[in-house]
Amino acid sequence: MIAQIRPSELAQWLTHARQHGEPVVLDVREPHELQLASVKAEGFTLRTIPMGVIPPRLSELDPQQPIACLCHHGGRSMQVASFLQSRGFEHVANIAGGIHAWSAEVDPSIARY
C-alpha cells in the first residue's frame, strides 16, 4: 500500500523518512508544467523526471531513499509511486492533491493551473 500524504503533512513525513536516508520529492510532471509552477526544495532533494521517462531513467533513483511523488493533482504521481514500489522501492509515498493542493495548503505563491 502506498502512503498518501497531504502537502501539509509532508514535513512530518520528511522527519520520519530521514531514518531511511535523504528524502526525495520526485516531481513527475512535464517540463511545461514545471515552468508554470514548482516547489522549493526545503528539507528534501527535488528531482524532476517526467512520468513517461521514469522506466528508462529508473537507475537515476536510489531504491533505498524515501521518495514522495508529486504531480498536478496526484493521479500520475500515484501511478509512479506504484511502479517504483513494484520495482523494489520500499519507502514510497504519494503527495495527495499534487502541486494544486501544495499551493492551497503550504505555499499560496505557487501558481495554480
Which single residue is written with the C-alpha cell 524532476? 48
What's the CATH number where 18 sits? 3.40.250.10
Query: What is the pTM (predicted TM-score) of this model?
Result: 0.96
C-alpha cell at 67: 521518495
What is the enclosing helix (H) or strand (E) of 12? helix 10-17
- Tens digits of residue pLDDT in 30-59: 999 999 999 999 999 999 999 999 999 999
Residue 69 bears catalytic tag: no
C-alpha cell at 26: 520526485
pLDDT at 96: 98
Q: Which residues contact 109 (CB under 8 A, 6 or more apart)?
A: none
- Tens digits of residue pLDDT in 15-24: 999 999 999 9
Strand partners, 36: none
In a domain, 28, yes or no: yes
Where in the sequence is the domain holding 42, given as residue range(s)? 3-105
In a domain, 110, yes or no: no
pLDDT at 83: 98
Q: Please give the tally of structural domains in the chain.
A: 1
In a domain, 101, yes or no: yes
CA atoms within 13 A on the CB side of 69: 28
In a domain, 19, yes or no: yes
Given the residues 5, 39, 69, 71, select the one marked as catalytic: 71
φ, ψ at 72 (rounded to 5°)? -75, -55
In a domain, 85, yes or no: yes
In a domain, 37, yes or no: yes
Q: pLDDT confidence of 65, banded at 50, 70, 90? A: very high
In a domain, 112, yes or no: no
Which of 77, 89, 87 is CA-nearest to residue 6?
77
Name the residue type at position 71: C
In a domain, 89, yes or no: yes
